[in-house]
Amino acid sequence: MSEYVPLAGSRREPMRGSKRTARADPSLVIDITLVLRRRRPIQGRQAPLVRMHRSLFGERYGADPQDIEDIRQFGESNGLKCKTISQAARTIVLRGTVADVSGAFRTALALYESPLGVYRDWTGPLHIPIGLASTIQAVLGLDNRPVARPHFVKAADDQGQASFLPRDVGALYDFPYGYDGSGQRVAIVELGGGYSVADLNSYFVAQGLPIPVVTDFSVDGGKNSPGGKSDAEVMLDIEVVHSISPGAEIGMYFAPNTESSILNAMSAAVHDDFFRPTIVSLSWGNPERYYTDQIKAAMDGVFIDAAAMGVTICIASGDSGSSGGADGINVDFPASCPHALACGGTRLNVTRLGVIDSETVWNDKSGVSGGGVSAFFPLPPWQVAAGVPLSAASSGVSGRGVPDVAGDADPDTGYSVILHGKRQIIGGTSAVAPLWAGLIALINDYLDGPTVGFLHPIIYLDWLTRIGFRDVTMGNNGAYSAAPGWDACTGWGSPDGSRVLNSVADWYFSQLQMAYL
């Protein structure tokens, strides 16, 4: 018998407030996703110097065929059938019973009751054969524990608020005029809820905007399912993206709310050689501590793939300030991934003449801009000179600073949308991720061929941050305070859209030598 060793980063603890009630049904058939190592490392990922076509990515940087075969044989020897293989995404989905999966990874699956409902999970680490220890990077899907929440906040009063249509917010931020995102495709990942075509049509017809072209994609059985609370997230995302970039197509990637499915959905969007999005927006997340280390590393691996292919990842930084909605000091994941554009929140105050009077960190009874210092990801090279502080947590460690950028998120100065046939006002950092996704679609439209892709090495250039952003210097999110330059409340601040476009374009056309392989 092969020697087994713990899989690094797979240790799981019961959800707080949960209680084990029974063992999981051993005959239940489940799908698990294994993430494999790269065939070779991606060079120069810190700057978008080379863009890899999706059709060639798998062969160059995906999983090694021999590793895939080794995993297929491992699964077969344990009664697990190979369902799907993605060389590019470095994933293999194996299907088997709970009994077979438990035996393959030397664990016991049980049912737990929690405030979020009954879920299946394990405790302690998973185990894998020592001969596959360097091959397997993550094993996901043994559980169906909910892992993320949407980051939208409804205004308390939908009638008397100082709200804006999304395109009005774009105008206040001087988003570039004359471009509509034509030729761009924006992927929006949702872990629940759905949209109403009738609501979308009435919303955009009333504004004289074209009806959006929306294509649905199902991941792990997820689908457009309107009728619940998460509809507010889905409708907000679509209405903001299309209002800002009405010429862009939208792809909706619906997936269940689990660790394996959130990874599979982001990976499906990044590696989709059919829809081929240039931007991916996600407005769901939770404190880093709620996730296993293996999913955190695997998710940033997907975002590194995106950077190599010229795809920008926009993620909401959360609505619970420096606590992240948990005890102590926490940042939100996946916003804490170094290769994600983490989007924080502000309160936007406008004069009667329709110009910005002031902008502060969003922090009131409705919610607070998420931000802080990662306890898992180290400080990335592009943030070394940004002045990221040590974590305010007791550990006081250095790490990836969150967010990178910001925008209007306070529901008191929120976005007027149509939801379930009614006008509603919604805020939260959920609005900021699609706002930035729309702006990047406009910039890509202007670039007419190249894409912004991985934006960090550009926006962390000193000259661009001084002229391309509205620096937010007032307010705090709990443990961190706004200050001149980058801070852990709003990053570099909100966008001065036209200046961001001009600065990015100047950088590209003067320094970037594109090579499409």
- Residues assigned a catalytic role: 233, 237, 430
Instruction: Output the CA torsion 442→447→452→453 (10° steps).
Output: 110
Query: In angstroms, rounded to a whole number, what is the distance separating the alpha carbons of residues 473 and 470?
Result: 9
In sequence order, the β-bridge partners of residue 448 are: none
**Residue 77 burial by CB count (10 A; 0-12/13-18/19+): exposed, middle or buried?**
exposed
In sequence order, the β-bridge partners of residue 344 are: 406
Instruction: Output the CA torsion 467→469→474→476 (10° steps).
Output: -140
- Both tokens assigned to 347: 């309160």
- Both tokens assigned to 159: 């009638």
Residue 373 three-state SS:
strand
Closest among 104, 101, 82, 125 to 26, alpha carbons compared? 101
DSSP code string of 23-35: E--TT-EEEEEEE
CB atoms under 10 Å from CB of 507, counted, come to: 16
Query: In angstroms, rounded to a whole number, what is the distance separating the alpha carbons of residues 489 and 407?
Result: 11
CA distance readout (Å), 448 to 41, 270, 352, 513: 29, 20, 37, 15
Query: In angstroms, rounded to a whole number, what is the distance separating the alpha carbons of residues 33 and 12?
Result: 16
Query: In angstroms, rounded to a whole number, what is the distance separating the alpha carbons of residues 92 and 59?
Result: 16
Number of H helices, E strands in the chain: 12, 29
